[in-house]
Homo-oligomer: A and B are copies of this chain.
Amino acid sequence: MPNLIYGPQPCFLERVIACLLEKEIEFEVVDVDLFKGEHKSPQFLKLQPFGSVPVIQDGDYTLYESRAIIRYYAEKYRSKGTELLGKTIEERGLIEQWLDVEAHNFQPPLYDLVIQVLFGPKLGMTPDQKRIDENEKKLAQVLDVYEERLSKSKYLAGDSFSLADLSHLPFGQYLVTSLGKEYMIKDRKNVSRWWDDISSRPCWKKVVQDYPAPV
């Protein structure tokens, strides 16, 4: 039986699929209809008690939280496909550091921008311009740190593409497409070079083609 990936959840599901493709692992996406509230059904809550997607099932092993899932697959299939966890404990340490930076510094302002600018208006919410401006400012400060880091390092955690870079792809994609803020990447020489590199990987191009953003 292939690995089952319960979705959709824009961005979080794509993070997992990008990893599975890089590791050349077979999988099947099980559609969860969020608009029908299937993620809050008793059956689904047995898999994921917080009622969130994605969740994976690898045989009888169930796991949730997108970054925990990508760590699991990258570790389980260490010798298959792209090496994503580094070669040494020190390299892994830096990958973990930049995965946490992505989770706590990069994603939060971008997530809020996606809600305010893209999903909110579809649900009848009026965008809060002050909040949008604050989030763009926060994100700009984060990208300034990335610019400095990427002036000295090819990828975030070192010389090789890793889970840390991969984890930025889904929300980075929103930034340069639907949000119309590609300039935030392009205005920073090294961030731009890095983004062009990671977003042109065949696996990511396949994710973008096969799982287009809903807005």
- Which positions in A face B, CB cutoff 8 Å? 49-50, 61, 63-65, 67-69, 71-72, 75-76, 89-90, 92-94, 96-97, 99-101, 103-105, 142, 145, 148-149
Contact = CB atoms under 8 A, between A and B. Distances in A.
Q: Give the interface centre of A92, A97, A104, A105 by most chain B CB atoms within 10 Å.
A: A97
Given A69-B93, A72-B93, 12 more contacts: A49-B145, A50-B101, A50-B145, A61-B90, A63-B94, A65-B97, A67-B96, A71-B93, A72-B89, A72-B90, A72-B96, A103-B104
A63 B105 contact: no
29 contacts: A49-B145, A49-B148, A49-B149, A50-B101, A50-B105, A50-B145, A61-B90, A61-B93, A63-B93, A63-B97, A64-B97, A65-B96, A65-B97, A65-B100, A65-B104, A67-B96, A67-B100, A68-B93, A68-B96, A68-B99, A69-B93, A71-B92, A71-B96, A72-B89, A72-B92, A75-B93, A76-B89, A103-B103, A103-B104
B92 A75 contact: yes
Q: Give the interface centre of A65, A67, A105, A149 by most chain B CB atoms within 10 Å.
A: A65
Nearest to A97: B68
Nearest to A94: B63
A63 to B, nearest CB: 5
Contacts of A64: 97
Nearest to A70: B96
A100 B69 CA distance: 10
Contacts of A69: 93
